[in-house]
A and B are shown apart, each in its own frame.
Chain A
Amino acid sequence: AQSVTQLDSQVPVFEEAPVELRCNYSSSVSVYLFWYVQYPNQGLQLLLKYLSGSTLVKGINGFEAEFNKSQTSFHLRKPSVHISDTAEYFCAVSDASGGSYIPTFGRGTSLIVHP
């Protein structure tokens, strides 16, 4: 069975500083990986995804993530954050271990950007 661990429940950072949100997963088969962002009282919006190919994935709003198979990680990074990046971020993994691809989500990381 697949699982996702987001090690940090909250990450405070100052505006224009770089940020990394960590995600580790466990799965016994090939995986698809995703990062979503959720603003207050909204649904989840896809930031980026890894399906295959290059391990460095670029997404919307200047975010990128790197798939590291040996470390089973998919950390999200942004070189310079804005106040508007304050939101909840969810890592998700999907594999076919149960016969169908149903995404499993981490507990989320709250990114708080201070001026």
Chain B
Amino acid sequence: ETGVTQTPRHLVMGMTNKKSLKCEQHLGHNAMYWYKQSAKKPLELMFVYNFKEQTENNSVPSRFSPECPNSSHLFLHLHTLQPEDSALYLCASSQELTTGREAFFGQGTRLTVV
């Protein structure tokens, strides 16, 4: 039990599909993050939310659309993805962005685009 739960753990989708990744945290945190982890590449920060407001969009293509309805939930909506989008998508949360405390990660969603 990490306190941050991601669903699904694995997802295979075609390039024309629409799917969503879900992240839920039970830690009372106010900052949530999406990271992309591809083989042989460093962790790429995608989006950051602080108190439900998006504070970072790291030049992510519009086929990735985040949503943060409340401080406990974060979604990543996917549509018309490309094979190079196949990766492990990690959600994380932290207390909030002005405290510098550590981030807690979910188990990740392994996405394969076919």
- Is the CB–CB distance between A32 and B43 below 8 Å? no
A34-B102, A94-B100, A100-B55 known; A41+B108 contact, CB < 8 A = yes
- Is the CB–CB distance between B42 and A42 below 8 Å? no
**Number of residues in B with C-beta < 8 Å to the partner?**
29
- Is the CB–CB distance between B100 and A96 below 8 Å? yes
Closest beta carbon of chain A to B48's beta carbon, Å: 6
- Is the CB–CB distance between B102 and A100 below 8 Å? no
Q: Which bracket fits the contact residues of A?
A: 20 to 34
Q: Using CB atoms and an 8 Å cutoff, list the residues of chain A in contact with chain B.
A: 32, 34, 36, 41-46, 49, 51, 90, 92, 94-96, 100-108
Could you list some 29 contacts between A and B, CB below 8 A? A32-B101, A34-B102, A41-B107, A42-B107, A43-B6, A43-B108, A44-B103, A44-B105, A45-B2, A46-B102, A51-B100, A51-B101, A90-B43, A92-B103, A96-B100, A100-B55, A100-B98, A101-B94, A101-B97, A101-B98, A101-B101, A102-B33, A104-B45, A105-B42, A105-B43, A106-B42, A107-B41, A108-B42, A108-B43
Chain A residues with CB under 8 A of B56:
102
Contacting A102 at CB < 8 Å: which of B42, B97, B106, B108? B97
Chain B residues with CB under 8 A of A103:
102-103
* A-contact 0/1 string along B27-68, CB 8 Å cutoff: 000000100000001110100101000011000000000000
Closest beta carbon of chain A to B86's beta carbon, Å: 14
- Is the CB–CB distance between B48 and A49 below 8 Å? no
Task: List the 3 closest A-B pairs by CB distance, nearest first.
Answer: A100-B97, A43-B105, A101-B100
